[in-house]
Amino acid sequence: MLRSDLFQLRNNGFLELLRITEQQLDFIQNDNWIDSVNELNELFDSWTRKKEELDKVHIQIEENIIQQAPDNDSEIESYNIKIEPTMERIIEIRSIVEQAIQLQFNSLSRSMKSVKDQQVILNAYYGVRRRNDIPIYFDEKK
């Protein structure tokens, strides 16, 4: 494969990665995204597959170009400069997506703890899980 073809394949791969990342961002900006988290998982899976394809292209670039012409750093640097804004945008969007997921995770964790606390209280005061027992509460302050 020609050098320019490999670099073009890599550039197109990063553009596709950016497109998928933007879809993830659009998805989490929906207020009810947590209700259809399977779709978000599919986007993450496609992102991972595209990243693996890019890794293979990078290996081809290393094998075919860098080893054959190690002194031709200017061509490699030129292609790297071309994809730098795309890579920076991907990193920026991924950070936003990860923060949104972390916030949602924290919120769900707090909700789950609240539900657990309420279950303990219900069981303590009303004996929800007990059978044929009369709930008794001892106030240790009296």
**CB 138 within 8 Å of CB 130:** no
Domain parsing of the chain, residue ranges? 3-97
pTM above 0.95, yes or no: no
Whole-angstrom distance, CA of residue 62 vs CA of residue 70:
10
CA dihedral in degrees (107, 43, 55, 101; nearest 10)?
A: -10
> What pLDDT score was predicted for residue 139?
72
> What pLDDT score was predicted for residue 62?
78
> What pLDDT score was predicted for residue 69?
65
**CB 65 within 8 Å of CB 76:** yes
Tokens for 75, please give them: 């061509």
> What pLDDT score was predicted for residue 34?
75
The SS3 assignment for 23 reads: helix
Place of tokens 């009296």: 142
Tokens for 7, please give them: 């670099």
Per-residue pLDDT of the chain (142 residues; tens, 9 = 90+): 677 788 889 899 999 999 999 999 998 888 777 777 888 889 999 999 999 999 998 888 877 766 676 666 677 777 788 889 999 999 999 999 999 888 888 877 777 777 777 777 777 776 666 666 666 667 777 5
> What pLDDT score was predicted for residue 78?
79
**CB 32 within 8 Å of CB 38:** no
DSSP percent split of the chain into helix, strand, coil, nearest 5: 80, 0, 20
> What pLDDT score was predicted for residue 130?
61
